[in-house]
Structure 1
Amino acid sequence: MFALLRAAVPLFVAMVTGMVGSLVVTSVLGKHDTVTLAAFAVMTAVLNPATAAVQGALRGLGPFVAPHREEPAAAVPIVRDARWLSLATGAVGALAVLCVPLLAEAAGVPAEAVRELGLLPYFLAASVMVFASTGGTSTILIALGRNSHVLWPSLTAAVLLSVLAAVLVPSLGLTGVGLAWLTSGTAAAIVSIFNLRRAFGRAIGQARPRMGEIVRLARVSIPLAATVLIKFGVLGVVTFAASTTSTRDTAAHAVLTTLTGIMLVAAVAVAQAAVPDVARARDAAEARRAARTATLLAMMGAGAGALLLLVFGAQIMTGFSDDQAVRERVLALLPLMLLSSLFDAAQAVKGTGLTALKRSSASLRYFAIGYGLLVLAAVPVARTWGIAGLWVAMAMANGLLVVLQGLGFHRHSAKVGAADQEGPGSDVASRQTRKV
């Protein structure tokens, strides 16, 4: 457990650092102009899921690289293939970002907010491509056991983004945000590539795409990206359902959603840190032991956050809203949010474990079931039982996912050790095993 904790801490700090940079940008824009902040909110509604989907796809590379930790040179062809896949998914994400002004107009966003976007979509689309050009460097470093190296690109990006946003926004508005975002992302990419070169002891270079190997990587990576999009999409529907209740309930829901995201950071860090342990497991018992340890550690982290909120919730709420009624509503719903978050933390670890077993498509199916039911129930539940009913529904959906992901991991982990792991080609071996 302590080894996993040491591996997870740098990832946790890197995630928190990244969140700080985004919060600074939001704060600077809020003080600059309300319309500018509203336009940025419209942009992030597409940017966040697009970036998360690209990042999710890159996380699918971990189980292919982890078996080569003792001999990194053997993973070089995989890393080269990963770059082609990364650029392809990045191009899709960048295109979605470029389409934000058109989507905003079609959705009825006020014209002044759309005009305020200016050059921002172009800068942010370029930043998505810069991120994609690294080819999942963070995931590769984690798979190679270089977790501490993941912190430095995140720290570089956060510091530059915070400083440049504070300097550029007052005179350039959202164009300043775009410049700051692209500059900080480029600097982070340079640091990432330097760390990757150190890990391999040589330049990676690039080769012609091997379509068969890229497809094998995509079979794990693309379902993971789709899972991220499903979650973002369904939570967006839930937010819409919450907005049909009352203004104060909608504000309370926004605060609860923010707190949920903060609580899940530790669980996501632990889940990522555990991927190499599960991917390198020699048999089912070892894979399950690694998953149990990760789940326990993730639940401890989420539980610590829950305890903090239960004890100091009233004081913490003052930082989120000046409206006493909103604060009281949040505190009343806090137990439901904490229950939902604990379930979410547990299922995240099991789902990431399935990715480590190269079975992210199974996790995608489970998400389609659990969150499919949630999206069908969201609006009727909100109209009948308000946001309290919505948080009960979310807790039930996450609880169902704990069961589905847990059973799925148990079933698929039984095959660990039944066939030789051959990196990207292990799918062939597993098919042969199933035929036998």
Structure 2
Amino acid sequence: MITGILRTALPLFLSMVTGMLGTLVVTSVLGRHDTVTLAAFAVMTAVLNPASAAVVGAMRGLSPFVAPHRDDPAAALPVLRDARWLALLVGTAGALAMLVVPVLAGAAGVPGEVVAELGPLPYLLAVYLLVSASGGGATTVLVAFGHGRQVLWSSLAGTAVLAGCAVALVPPLGLAGAGVAWLLSAAASVTVANLALRRVLGVRVGHGRPRVAEIVRLGRVSLPLAATVLIKFGGLGVVTFAAGTTNTRDAAAHAVLGTLTGLILVASVSVAQAALPEVARAATPAGARRANGAAALLALAGTGVAALTLLLSGDAVPSLFTDDAGVRERVVALLPLMLLASAADGTQAVQGIGLTGLRRSATSLRYFAAGYGLLVLAAVPVAARWGIAGLWTAVAVANACLVVLQSAGFHRHSARVGRAPVGA
């Protein structure tokens, strides 16, 4: 079980890392182009990142519906066609969010020159989200059918187009060039993923007439998953704001720690995604728990390797992010606390995605709303009294509470596997 999950998780991990590298290339090119351009891009990504993550999260909710058809992929065609209608709805919501960014930025007090610099970027990124959603969750379906390696090829294609177009188009076009790069990247990634899915299915997915009841059934699993992503982004955004109320050095240290946490979490999420189809296909409670337990062990092992690497490296890794010795010192001092929070975060992510495999993502959403709701309420007062050390303690406690809640929820709902229709 562990070997199979690891074999699927590795290309997923590499695809996520590849995507991050593409984003870093775009940020670097924009930073060299103009400071105002980079600032405008930062404003845009503050909405783009959660919107695109919500679209991806919603599509992950397809896995428990298609994974049982792994041995007969063509039997999943009606579900895949329903998923395309759901993807269109979610993508449209994300696109509308892109279009209102200039208005929101102006209302929030962003300098006029930065808002003006956005130009056509909101429209380009709105189309980018629609193109991304048009894939109908093809990468999720490939993973559910045991073809995770094809997801890596899709990611490599998208990243190559993104990096190449950014380098070629940003110098003459500025942010508009970056928007075109993102759009072409999405087109390349979706094309490769859909071609791979067509080979697996043997036929085109196509578009059927919308079956409202079935789309709603998919939405009951997919939309809570997307909402969970938004809650997490929102909660961590409040934590970042609270860190900014301390002092400049601590705020910078928090930014570095947050980046490292994101990199560590990639391993846990890739493992959880790899295990999700196994949970969905399980015929007994023991089978579902075995798949989920194997994923939790792999996630903890990944966090352990990252922790050992960071702790042994001293300030070598923080030096990649800042030249300020004081900031590096704060990062090194807080590493153990950050790693504790990351280990808990990775574990709760596995349990939460496991609940999605049981079609109980709404249960996970309720847990997340409770845990991160308390974190949001506590963030600013904690920062005022105990600084970023207190903030990271609060994050660790919130994640630990989620581990308990999500694990208990998974154990309770997995008991119904094989005894009653899951999700009934």
In which range does the TM-score fall when normalised by the shorter chain?
over 0.9
Task: Give CA-to-partner distance per residue, 1:255-290, whole Å, 9 cap, x none.
Answer: 000000000011000000001110000110110011
How many Å apart are 1:313 and its aligned residue?
3.6
The match for 1:122 is 123
2:100 aligned with 1:99, yes or no? yes
Structure 1 residue runs without a partner (length 5+): 421-425, 431-436
Counterpart CA distance in 1 for 2:84 and 2:230 is 21
How many Å apart are 1:30 and its aligned residue?
1.1
The match for 2:214 is 213
Counterpart CA distance in 1 for 2:180 and 2:361 is 36
2:241 aligned with 1:246, yes or no? no
Counterpart CA distance in 2 for 1:330 and 1:357 is 39
How many Å apart are 1:196 and its aligned residue?
1.0
**Which one-letter code corresponds to 2:183 in the other structure?**
L
Would the alpha carbon gap of residues 313 and 208 (structure 1) be closer, same or farther in structure 2, given more than 3 Å must change?
Answer: farther
Secondary structure at the counterpart of residue 314 of structure 1? coil
The match for 2:197 is 196
The match for 1:423 is none
Task: Give CA-to-partner distance per residue, 1:116-167, whole Å, 9 cap, x none.
Answer: 1111111111000000000001111111111111111110111111111111
Secondary structure at the counterpart of residue 208 of structure 2? coil
How many Å apart are 1:419 and its aligned residue?
2.5
The match for 2:307 is 306
Q: CA RMSD in A?
A: 0.8
Secondary structure at the counterpart of residue 316 of structure 2? helix
The match for 1:169 is 170
How many Å apart are 1:317 and its aligned residue?
1.1
The match for 2:405 is 404
Structure 2 residue runs without a partner (length 5+): none
Counterpart CA distance in 1 for 2:205 and 2:59 is 17
2:54 aligned with 1:53, yes or no? yes
The match for 2:64 is 63
1:30-41 matches, within 5 Å, as 30-41=31-42
The match for 2:4 is 3
**Which one-letter code corresponds to 2:368 in the other structure?**
F
Counterpart CA distance in 1 for 2:314 and 2:230 is 31
Task: Give CA-to-partner distance per residue, 1:280-336, whole Å, 9 cap, x none.
Answer: 001101100111000000110111111111111411111100111111111111111
The match for 1:108 is 109
Counterpart CA distance in 1 for 2:125 and 2:60 is 21
Task: Give CA-to-partner distance per residue, 1:400-435, whole Å, 9 cap, x none.
Answer: 000000000000000000025xxxxx64xx3xxxxx
Counterpart CA distance in 1 for 2:327 and 2:111 is 27
1:10-409 matches, within 5 Å, as 10-409=11-410
**Which one-letter code corresponds to 1:93 in the other structure?**
G
**Which one-letter code corresponds to 2:231 in the other structure?**
I
Counterpart CA distance in 2 for 1:84 and 1:405 is 30
**Which one-letter code corresponds to 2:281 in the other structure?**
R
Counterpart CA distance in 2 for 1:146 and 1:249 is 43
Counterpart CA distance in 1 for 2:206 and 2:239 is 45
**Which one-letter code corresponds to 2:362 in the other structure?**
S
Q: Which moved more, 1:133-142 or 1:311-320?
A: 311-320
TM norm structure 1: 0.96
Task: Give CA-to-partner distance per residue, 1:213-258, whole Å, 9 cap, x none.
Answer: 0000000001000000000001000111111000111111100000
How many Å apart are 1:13 and its aligned residue?
0.6
Counterpart CA distance in 1 for 2:185 and 2:407 is 39
Task: Give CA-to-partner distance per residue, 1:348-404, whole Å, 9 cap, x none.
Answer: 000000000000000001001111110010000000001110000000000000000
The match for 1:433 is none
Query: Percent same amino acid at aligned positions?
Result: 65
